[in-house]
Structure 1
Amino acid sequence: MTTNEIRKIIADSEFSDWLNSVNLQIEYPHLDFDQTLTGFSSVFKFLEQQINGWEKFGENIPNELKASKKQFSTFKTRLENYINSYVINSNHNESQLNNYWNSEKNQIQNNKTLFVYDSPITEFLINIHRDVPKYYAGAYNFVMGNYNFSNKDSMIGHLLAYEFELKDYTELTKRRNKEKSSIGKLRNDFRSQLSESETQLSEHLKSANIEFENYTQKIDELKTEKESNFDDWFDNTKIEFDNFDTTTKEKISDLEHTYEELLRLKKPAEYWNQRATKLNKEGWKAIYWLVGLVAFACVTLYLLLWLTPDGMLLSFIKGQASAIKWSIIYVTFISFLAYGIRALNKVAFSSFHLARDAEEREQLTYVYLSLIKDSAVDEKEKSLIMQSLFSRAETGLLKGDSGPAMPNDISGKIFGGN
């Protein structure tokens, strides 16, 4: 587990404020090392730095210093277990977390014999171990305060450690000690600032996570709202499209049916239109002939009545046979004129009647097509309209028709009985 992972866990934890407020005081008197770390991530990062720093020295270091390296690894593992057991995968309150933390904290604080990798004394002991290993034990005992002059090598080791610490009390030594003290203060200040930075970083990560969660929540809400709006729009559009599709198909079906009916009735309508025009012409033609025949009848009657010879009139008075002859001829002529006038009259008005009937059939055809388009005609009404369109029309020519009135008929009517 890395420091970045620890920071993320702290930022996501409900105990982030408490985890950022915990502190640990590390004191190693033999190294003149005293450091207070604030924040769980600061403690974890310190242990991680010590482990990585000791790794750089390799394996050629004294066993006492290897023990420090191993102990820092043990502390780091214990903190990882603490995070996994009491922060991530457990439901504990802050008081319980504090009790567990005090236990871990004591394990680290109570061990005051460790060495940090970046201490000058640590580097001094490693150099003695590598360059003159026989003097290492004496130097180590001197640093730890165990003064033992049992042999020459131990004595020399003590002297080397003494010279490293004091060297002779001279101005140069004072200056070196002051510089060493200054560097130590700078190191401690740097570590204090590092601890404070870790706390600020953890708080910043927590704030960033909260803002990110709020932003994510807003995005999810916006996404849900847009999806809901889209679903509503899609459902409404689908319903409208289905209605439009159904209506359009019905209209297309009606139009197709109307078009089929139009094709079926187009020729009859054209025929009725042409027939009406033709019958109107024939009617007016019969009217002209009727007018001409009436005029001719009037003229002939005038001539017969006003221009009759005197001998004919005398024959009527005297009762001669020639008078009967001229009477029969006159009556026959008048009968033929009357029959012709009557026939022309029937032909004229029959033509006008048939023309009007053809016009009405044509208009009825278009009305029928319009009703079909609006789906306002059922099968029964359709049958009635079809019967009206294609029923037989009365011409008016045969009804009450009779042959020309001959003289014997007239005499029979005059002299006969019933």
Structure 2
Amino acid sequence: MDNKILFRFSIEEQYVINYNHQNEEYTFDELERISKSNFEYWNSVSREGYSQEWEILNKNITRVREYLSTIEELDSESIRNYFYNNIPSNREEIETDKYLYKISMSSPIDRDAEFGKIKNFVSFYIQHLTNNLREAVINFIRLSKNMYEIGYDLSSTSQYRFYPALYLLKQHFSDLKESKDDFETNIVLPIKSKLQEISDDSNEQYKEITTFIETKHNEIQQQFDEKSIELKEFQSSINIWQEGKEARLNDLEETYKNKLSLEAPEELWYNRSKEYREKAKYWTWVLIVSALALVGFLTGLVMVIHDYSLDTIQEIPFISKSFILVSIISFFVYIIRVLIKIVMSNHHLATEYEQKAALTRFYQALTYAGTDIAQEERIIIIHSLFSRTETGLVKTDSSNDVDAILSVLSKNVH
């Protein structure tokens, strides 16, 4: 803001001795300090002097300062308008987007190079009089710049004209130096007060800056901590997601390997089951036809053997009719039993291969689902799947492989 808005005091010549207001431009902070120091001085001297004008300016500046502390965004146009409406002044644009505010004051200003002379005269005057201070100061300034008018004012009956002329005459002819008290009052104490004011302002600004830095640091630290927690949670979720995907990929890879290794056996077992199922159907029809044929053949054969055996039995007395009949029936039953075993064997093989194909598919499904199967259990399963298949025609002492597979797989399902 300081590089866009400047201030200048416009003071009539009757209030200053050596002050070039055309070259004096101030920032808002400098304006505030100047207004405050002038008000404090004139208010300490007399309320009938120039303190009221500086008091009004101080109040206006305080109002602007409060406004600046409440706005969230620095809008140059709004700030310029607020300055113009609250601090009586003339505004002009000296450069692009740079404005100068001219503040008119009917009062001496401590930025005057000869302001020390004015203060010395004021100290002299208030020791003798307490009224008409404004007129006395104006006359003092006029006579300081026009010494030849001193004689005329010495003859004046107005004390506010007489005392300025008397003071300047004493200063001019007797070359009076400032007394120790005047020097201490007008020079030392103001400088000390100014230094104290600067120190107080510096301490206050330091505290404000320190508080601001600490506040921003805490806010940044809080945001950093929050983002760190969010980042850790995000990293944790990423790790969990990655682990899940890696496990899933391993399962798919294992399933693919199992599919490659078991696809051909599964297809072979499925084809074998169909083949033996067809054979079982074929041998079932053979059994039925053979049984009917044997029954018919047995009926005719019994009649033939009955007629034939009459003469034979007489020659071979130890062979009876019943023996011949039982022998023939036993032979026919044996043939039917063989055919039944063949049919049952084909059914048994078809069922066995169907179970192997189904168990192979079930094993692949468990791998796809991510079920953990130990290496020893995997060996048992593979051994059971690829073990010898019994035809059922001949009994063996081998254990039931299907039961072993079901036992292992059931345990892994849970």
TM-score by length of 1: 0.48
Which has the larger helix fraction? Answer: 1
- Structure with the bigger RCO (C-alpha within 8 Å, sep 6+) is 1
